[in-house]
Amino acid sequence: MPTTIQAISAEAINLPLTEPFAIASGAQAVAANVLVKVQLADGTLGLGEAAPFPAVSGETQTGTSAAIERLQSHLLGADVRGWRKLAAMLDHAEHEAAAARCGLEMAMLDALTRHYHMPLHVFFGGVSKQLETDMTITAGDEVHAAASAKAILARGIKSIKVKTAGVDVAYDLARLRAIHQAAPTAPLIVDGNCGYDVERALAFCAACKAESIPMVLFEQPLPREDWAGMAQVTAQSGFAVAADESARSAHDVLRIAREGTASVINIKLMKAGVAEGLKMIAIAQAAGLGLMIGGMVESILAMSFSANLAAGNGGFDFIDLDTPLFIAEHPFIGGFAQTGGTLQLADVAGHGVNLA
């Protein structure tokens, strides 16, 4: 059978960043990711990327590589056309190794769509071939924040995402003021990365409203396990609230919809894998929740995969696929073409990323 999985390999790739990618819970100076290859019996090669982020998920490059090694036995000799069944087997075998599972699923789907000469965005629904991404200002002082905002606008990117720490509301507000002054037309997505409690989150939102700071989304202000607090902030803040760390599975999204924990779901494939991510999207859309697409610190490979999914499926209100802009060196060619904030997908087989 030409679509039988014949070989699987995993290779550690260490991608230097242009600046440390700092969030409330930690920082990375190098993206310590894993390149995944799946080869079919007809010679078709699919590429995937696993991007563990220890500060968020606890997963590491070493652990991810080991998980991929263990999972190979579930896939070798299987028909990639049954990828959803294979994804379920991977989830059952290594549920906690989400990045490893995601990298394998990406590689399987890249191989499958390359075999059939189909663009990945067509496979996911063909709704669009274009997205508009934001760019992130990582944690730092007011001077860094203002300079970063000006640099983002100079790139032609219109929307800005801001990482805040949540410990000192006055400090977070000072950074937002500096950003707003430097980029007065830019809508702001504020990512708390679990750093606030309810009192600080509501005080922060009240101050943003009083100062007319154009925050269009407040992402994961509270810790993942504070479901009641997230619901309170969603109900009382006056801003759209996104669940990121709180939304790691379809079950989580169902609970969010039932309990009013958030109004937007941030889909990051590295949190759950591709098959589970599609379930999360379906539940969110059925429940009337907004959608955001994001990622960990990923190269053009994984980001192009996510872009194909988001554009092909449609319905995403917030696009946060900017980490390739922070990667100084990588071994890939192809992927989406970026002009300003516009990501344009090509009509090529698979996700369109190849090894240089």
Pairing of strands 188-191, 215-219: parallel
136 in a known ligand binding site: yes
110 in a known ligand binding site: no
261-264 contact pairs (CB < 8 A, 24+):
261/227, 261/230, 261/231, 261/234, 262/230, 262/234, 262/289, 263/234, 263/289, 263/290, 264/217, 264/219, 264/240, 264/289, 264/290, 264/291, 264/292, 264/317, 264/318
C-alpha of 120 from chain center: 17
11 in a known ligand binding site: no
Task: Compute the distance between CA of residue 163 and CA of residue 171 in angstroms, rounded to an integer.
Answer: 12
93 and 71 Cβ atoms separated by less than 8 Å: yes
244 in a known ligand binding site: yes
219 in a known ligand binding site: yes
279 in a known ligand binding site: no
Task: Compute the distance between CA of residue 70 and CA of residue 340 in angstroms, rounded to an integer.
Answer: 41
122 in a known ligand binding site: no
Specify the residue for token string 């079919």.
40
> What are the φ/ψ torsions at residue 310 (nearest 5 degrees)?
-65, -45
Task: Compute the distance between CA of residue 239 and CA of residue 210 in angstroms, rounded to an integer.
Answer: 13
163 in a known ligand binding site: yes
Helix axes 274-286, 83-93, angle to 10 degrees: 100
191 in a known ligand binding site: yes
Q: Which residues are annotated as a binding site?
A: 136, 161-163, 191, 219, 244, 268, 320-322
Q: Which residues are annotated as a binding site for Mg(2+)?
A: 191, 219, 244
Q: Which residues are annotated as a binding site for substrate?
A: 136, 161-163, 268, 320-322
